[in-house]
Structure 1
Amino acid sequence: MSRLVASLGMYDHPAQQSANDRIWSEIVRILRKRGVDRMPDVLDRARHVHDLWRDPNLLFGQACGYPLIADDSLALQVIALPIYDMPGFTSSDATHASVLVARANDGRRSLVDYRDTRAAINDPQSNTGMNLFRATLAPIAETSAFFARVVQTGSHRGSIAAIAAGSADIAAIDTVTYATLVRHEPDLTAPLKIVARSPASPTLPFVTSAATGVETIAALRLALQEVMTDPRLAEARASLGLAGIITANFDALAPIHALQQTAIRFGYPNLR
């Protein structure tokens, strides 16, 4: 049988990789004690997370919630939602948001001032980069097109870089990512200002393949609970901003779908 795979690629800034490796090593140790076999000793960083989400051998990963509700071809099960505590972006539950950022010196003061400017998104199926962006704009859009142009950058960091370089004017950035970049790449975020914050949304769920059995899912949930409370992992958790988890299933993503539907009712079905 093929070996299983694992990934924590959604929040894996180079400065955080050793923390993710430490967390995963402890999960492996716990799962082996519980009889889970074919365990991957290391996280897969060779493949894009989108490819890993489609691997039937995915034992453990983290996914964006919007593709899970928008793409029926993704065969994943939700294990849990993480709780994050990042400087300036603390939540006591498993929710986060996006900050809408722009150049600090652009002269615009409110979100409505960005009508007919250039927006940057990381991916059309990103919850924080597109869905929450759309949900924030929908009440003020008034027409089906708010921006002069929308450019796709491939990552939240790429969207920030595009704004700093002057090739885009505004973007929605996941608060966990933004706090990480403020901490580890302050020169990148220094030219920016926060224009608005999006509605809250479930955090990026921890997931496993649809092929994973119920006993293994139960073991994964127990392992996550243990690593979230183990004092030996306090430094690793702090590096990642992890404060805990909430056991969850697919139904926990319903607020993401609700935000999509609200934007549609406002007459703003697509971010443009």
Structure 2
Amino acid sequence: MTGTATGVVALGMYDLPELRAATDAWWAAIARALRAEGVAGVPESLDRSRPYHEVWRDPALLLTQTCGYPLTHGFADTLTAVAVPSYDAEGCGPGRYSSAFLVRDDDPAGDLAGLRGRRAAANGPDSQSGCNVLRSAVAPLAADGRFFSEVVWAGAHRRSLAAVRTGDADIAAIDAATFALISRHAPEEIRGIRVLGWSPAAPALPYAVRRGIDAGTRARIAAALLRAAADPDAAAARETLLIAGLSPVDDAAYAVMPEMRRAAERLGYPELA
């Protein structure tokens, strides 16, 4: 940022209602670190007033967290990654995460092949963890571009999980951090649900800035994120959000995501269907 104009920050990827106090505390730590690194225009609070896709195109965007799929597809001209979190959750590793393929406890399917002709729920077609990994996993099993009888576009991981639980869908891919956070803070929402399997790991959801930001500001923001990840005053917030640490990253780490899409296309399965 230049001048004194206030920037925009949104951290909506894991901002469940139950976690908003922790998200605000985590942002306060990041904001302190940004100011300590000399970053201008740091806002006092997060922008929760608009859809994140709108915020990501705001010229005043200072910092956000995004999914790797939009980073490499619809927002490749807008966002660039600066740091990647590690999450303390099953299915996660340093800077990486997987998706859990979730079905009901009483579903007879023993593997993904057992879901042929059934209904899938996904948060949206631009999601790595909810759509791209599931498309990739079933592409070798599909015939004539189809595997499922129907795809329910739920709009959010939490709603995809609810669709499986209530029988409106038979399977959903839910990212490991979301699954762990819901399991901890809303355990009733996973009752009657089991993990059928896990997707291959991919880079976790990055913290990102506007593409074209000057190199000095980018470096200061990256340094601030690492500073915040070591701030003892933010330890409780990080623990609540399952953030075990942060490390530098760039866009090249996310090349696996468009390659997953292209591999499915080569198998004749371009869309989750």
**Superposition TM-score tier, normalisation by shorter sequence:** over 0.9
Rounded Cα–Cα distance in structure 2 between residues aligned with 1:105 and 1:51: 40
The SS at the match of 1:9 is coil
Q: For residue 169 of structure 1, what is the aligned residue in structure 2?
A: 170
Q: For residue 263 of structure 1, what is the aligned residue in structure 2?
A: 264
User: Deviations for 1:117-167, whole angstroms, at most 9, x for unmatched residues?
Assistant: 111110011111100111111232244200001110100000011111211
The SS at the match of 2:55 is helix
Question: TM-score, length-normalised on structure 2?
Answer: 0.94
Question: TM-score, length-normalised on structure 1?
Answer: 0.94
Letter in 1 for 2:171: I
The count of corresponding residues between Structure 1 and Structure 2 is 270
The SS at the match of 1:269 is coil
Rounded Cα–Cα distance in structure 1 between residues aligned with 2:50 and 2:38: 27
- 2:70 equivalent to 1:64: no
Q: For residue 24 of structure 1, what is the aligned residue in structure 2?
A: 27
Contact 1:66 1:127 in 2 (8 A): yes
The aligned runs of 1:1-272 (5 Å cut-off) are 2-71=5-74, 74-86=77-89, 88-91=90-93, 93-272=94-273
Contact 2:83 2:248 in 1 (8 A): yes
Query: By how many angstroms is 1:99 displaced?
Result: 0.7
Identity %: 39
Contact 1:56 1:210 in 2 (8 A): no
Letter in 2 for 1:89: G
Question: What stretches of structure 2 of length at least 5 have no aligned partner?
Answer: none
Query: By how many angstroms is 1:232 displaced?
Result: 2.3
CA RMSD of aligned residues (A): 1.6
The SS at the match of 1:131 is helix
Rounded Cα–Cα distance in structure 2 between residues aligned with 1:201 and 1:141: 23
Contact 1:6 1:60 in 2 (8 A): yes
Rounded Cα–Cα distance in structure 1 between residues aligned with 2:146 and 2:59: 39
Query: By how many angstroms is 1:260 displaced?
Result: 1.5
Rounded Cα–Cα distance in structure 2 between residues aligned with 1:151 and 1:68: 24
Moved segments of 4+, more than 6 Å: none
Question: What stretches of structure 1 of length at least 5 have no aligned partner?
Answer: none
